[in-house]
């Protein structure tokens, strides 16, 4: 199974868990809070990191870091050579 479909399944299951938790909150408060918590954890601890790993494959992390050289590029200036380089 592709990672894209696995992430989609986790996301849908998490959203359904959150919605279900809010709908039963009146009758079963403790179980509702567990459903909401597991759904939130599924989104932020499983789906989001897997999505970021999938989308960042093959990309250089250095291009996205905010360092002096990239700041100069954003300002349209040529990076100055220092003794460290």
Residue 83 lies in a domain: no
What is the per-residue pLDDT for 71?
84
What does the pLDDT look like over 51-82, one tens digit per residue? 998 988 888 877 778 888 888 888 887 766 66
What is the per-residue pLDDT for 77?
76
Question: Token match 């986790």: residue?
Answer: 10
Number of domains in the chain: 1
Range of the domain at 54: 3-75
Distance CA 2, CA 24 (A): 33
Residue 85 lies in a domain: no
Q: Which helix (H) or strand (E) holds 8?
A: helix 3-23
Residue 28 lies in a domain: yes
Residue 68 lies in a domain: yes
What is the per-residue pLDDT for 36?
97
pTM: 0.70
**Mean pLDDT (the chain, rounded):** 88
């Amino acid at each position: 199974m592709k990672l894209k479909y696995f992430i989609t399944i986790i996301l849908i299951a998490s959203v359904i868990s959150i919605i279900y938790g809010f709908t039963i909150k009146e009758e079963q408060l403790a179980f509702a809070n567990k459903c909401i918590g597991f759904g939130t954890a599924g989104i932020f601890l499983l789906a989001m990191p897997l999505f970021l790993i999938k989308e960042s494959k093959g990309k250089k992390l250095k291009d996205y870091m905010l360092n002096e050289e990239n700041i100069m590029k954003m300002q349209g200036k040529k990076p100055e050579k220092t003794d460290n380089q």
